[in-house]
Chain A
Amino acid sequence: DGGITQSPKYLFRKEGQNVTLSCEQNLNHDAMYWYRQDPGQGLRLIYYSQIVNDFQKGDIAEGYSVSREKKESFPLTVTSAQKNPTAFYLCASSTPSTGARTDTQYFGPGTRLTVL
């Protein structure tokens, strides 16, 4: 089965801790994305990567970091610098954007992070 997996499903973090959220896809997609969703809000883009070993900041990158060493994997680290990290984190993948169009993004099941 092709798809996107995220782990863990639930994650609890203490103040001052860094945590890493995993995202893996076997759809052979070049592009991967991280979004954050707060209650009653739409999705906000944290980081995106269109190709291995390259990534760009989205709209709310402060306090987050990513790496893209493999095509299949795009882990997100929530650092202690992120002031309000409690949220639902969603990873997505797609074929890379070409020209002015964007291809469909497919989402993983999400990780719900809570700061204690």
Chain B
Amino acid sequence: QKEVEQNSGPLSVPEGAIASLNCTYSDRGSQSFFWYRQYSGKSPELIMFIYSNGDKEDGRFTAQLNKASQYVSLLIRDSQPSDSATYLCAVNSQRNSGYSTLTFGKGTMLLVSP
């Protein structure tokens, strides 16, 4: 069973600070990495995806990927109270069917205090 590990948190940061969310994965063959945000009682919504080693920036969000260390992270700059949510890391793996699917971590709860 492929595994995706995240610290469950909560991670508490003050408004305006940088929040750093981390994720490790077990499948060395993984090629696609996603960060989703999930508000309580709602469905996940995509924040970012990353395929290549290095950094990818989109507004206040930066995804970082290190395939050698099997590590992916999400940085949120200038954190806002509206960023308070659970952040899910998802990593793809090849199945016996020949298709690849996503394995999700359990998520890290982020709390941004005003």
Contact = CB atoms under 8 A, between A and B. Distances in A.
A104 interface: yes
Contacts of B105: 42
Interface residues of B, number: 29
Contact of B106 (A42, A59, A104): A42
B104 interface: yes
A43 interface: yes
A63 interface: no
Nearest to B45: A107
Interface in B76-114: 88, 90, 92, 94-95, 97, 99-107
B31 A43 contact: no
Contacts of B46: 104, 106
A56 B94 contact: no
A33 B42 CA distance: 17
Contact of A56 (B51, B95, B102): B95
21 contacts: A35-B104, A41-B106, A43-B44, A43-B88, A45-B103, A56-B97, A56-B99, A90-B43, A97-B100, A100-B29, A100-B92, A100-B94, A101-B31, A101-B51, A101-B92, A101-B100, A102-B100, A102-B102, A107-B43, A107-B44, A108-B43
Given A105-B34, A105-B102, A110-B42, 16 more contacts: A33-B101, A42-B88, A43-B44, A44-B104, A58-B101, A90-B44, A97-B100, A100-B31, A100-B94, A101-B92, A102-B92, A104-B49, A105-B90, A106-B46, A107-B44, A108-B43
